[in-house]
Amino acid sequence: MKSPIIISFKPAAELSPTEIADCYALIARTGFPFPPGYLESAHLVHNPTMVLAHLDGVLVGIQSYSLYKIKTPFRRRNIPFLYGGIGFQDMTAAGQGIAHHMSARYMRFALGPFWMIRSYVFLFRTPNPKLIQLMGLQHRLYLPNNNRLTQPLVQFAQDFVRKERSIQYPIDDRLVVLPPDEERTQTDITEQWPLLYRSSKTSYNQLAFDLNLIGQANGRRYLMGNYLLVLGQSSRIQLLKAAWKLGRRWVKKQLGSPARKPKLVLSEPI
């Protein structure tokens, strides 16, 4: 019998020293450079809701979210606005839909059981093309390469992270966050690239290369220390497309060879 993945929610302020140490250990396994104290000073200080995934008592996934209700360029009235702080998962859990289940659980927790038909806007920063692709499956994204990123949207995103998240680094008109050279560290992620970072769509990988989020040299991949602010909003059209694709995959599995048993079973949250 497979052990279940336990998904739970916790305010960041209630994390114990042991839980914070577990977060650092998981982040280190993904190849991402988090110096000591950075998690607390850049993320936990804002007291986001932490989404934690455990397998046999071991932390295999973490995400954090902050929920606001503000006016955005997309609506005249205030609507829910989500800021995604961090999102990491262990390589052993990659490809099993853990990240999707964690985010879906949080959306239901924050916006209610009918979150899929509600209007909301979100923003997160990442160098990860795979994560950007996943968010684009059921949302409308505003990226430097899809001709949707207008100057009012750029200004909105810049103002928000500077005021609400205290990000003081330069942010260019493509929404790339540019830490100074002395604070940027090139980190080799060649081992983690296939499972945790590489998108199945070439355009997302190329975007990460073009924006110098990820570098490549001599067959190796490197995090360059820059981040992209990814702005998006709910989209019923994208959601229907995603549901249609999932339905087709399910039918193919039923008509093909017997489906494999899932490696992991998601339990109810604590």
Domain of 67, CATH number, reads 3.40.630.30
Residue 173: what residue type? D
Q: For residue 39, what pLDDT is reported?
A: 94
Separation between Cα atoms, residue 197 and residue 96, nearest integer Å: 15
Report the predicted TM-score, pTM, of the whole model to 2 decimal places: 0.86
What percentage of the chain reaches a pLDDT higher than 90? Answer: 74
Separation between Cα atoms, residue 15 and residue 20, nearest integer Å: 6
Split into its structural domains, the chain has a count of 1
> Which residue did the predictor score with more confidence, 241 or 217?
217
Separation between Cα atoms, residue 135 and residue 81, nearest integer Å: 15
- Assess contact for 196 and 90: CB atoms under 8 A: no
Angle at 236 between CA 233 and CA 242, to 5 degrees: 100
- Assess contact for 44 and 15: CB atoms under 8 A: yes
Judge residue 205's burial from the number of C-beta atoms within 10 Å of its C-beta, 0-12 exposed, 13-18 middle, 19 or more buried. Answer: buried
- Name which of 128, 90, 43, 57 is nearest 35 in CA terms: 43
Separation between Cα atoms, residue 53 and residue 270, nearest integer Å: 10
Q: For residue 130, what pLDDT is reported?
A: 94
Q: For residue 264, what pLDDT is reported?
A: 44
Token pair 């017997």 in the structure block, residue: 258
Residue 4: which pLDDT band, with cuts at 50, 70 and 90? confident
Separation between Cα atoms, residue 111 and residue 147, nearest integer Å: 29
pLDDT single digits (tens) 120-147:
999 999 999 999 999 998 899 999 999 9
> Which residue did the predictor score with more confidence, 263 or 138?
138
> Which residue did the predictor score with more confidence, 228 or 239?
228
pLDDT single digits (tens) 173-189:
999 999 999 988 899 99
Residue 254: which pLDDT band, with cuts at 50, 70 and 90? low
Q: For residue 72, what pLDDT is reported?
A: 97
- Assess contact for 197 and 88: CB atoms under 8 A: no
* Alpha helices in 87-150, H assignment, sequence order: 98-111, 129-136
Q: Which domain holds residue 256?
A: 4-266
The whole-angstrom distance between residue 201's C-alpha and the CA centroid of its chain comes to: 17
Q: For residue 7, what pLDDT is reported?
A: 95
pLDDT single digits (tens) 10-40:
999 999 999 999 999 999 999 888 889 999 9
